[in-house]
Amino acid sequence: MRNAYTYIRAVDARGVEMLRFDLSGGAGYEDRRSMLFAELVREAGGWRFRAIGDTSESDTLVEWLKRYV
């Protein structure tokens, strides 16, 4: 389905869309196998949600963890 509209999105508890990544088309995703969609960080005042959208050629969790260790 090369021409299908493909996306990933996050919605809050009310169903309101907070962010969306368009994955359809675009040469930037052709050789990619995984994506770090977002991060949820606990801070003193509560939680912070940040969209990232970083992609990788690898499909293993170990490769992603190496970036944070």
How confident is the model over 32-42, as pLDDT tens digits?
A: 888 888 888 89
Return the H-helix or E-strand segment holding 61: helix 61-66
Residue 51 in this model has a pLDDT that exceeds 90: no
Query: Quick check: is 1 in a domain?
Result: no
- For the chain, percent helix, then strand, then coil, each to nearest 5? 15, 45, 40
Is residue 30 very low, low, confident or very high in pLDDT (cuts 50, 70, 90)?
A: confident
- If one counts the domains in the chain, the total is 1
Query: Quick check: is 2 in a domain?
Result: no
Provide the CA 18 distance to its chain's centre, in angstroms.
Answer: 12
Is residue 1 very low, low, confident or very high in pLDDT (cuts 50, 70, 90)?
A: very low
Rounded Cα gap, residues 56 and 35, in angstroms: 6
Residue 28 in this model has a pLDDT that exceeds 90: no
Range of the domain at 51: 7-66
Residue 15 in this model has a pLDDT that exceeds 90: yes
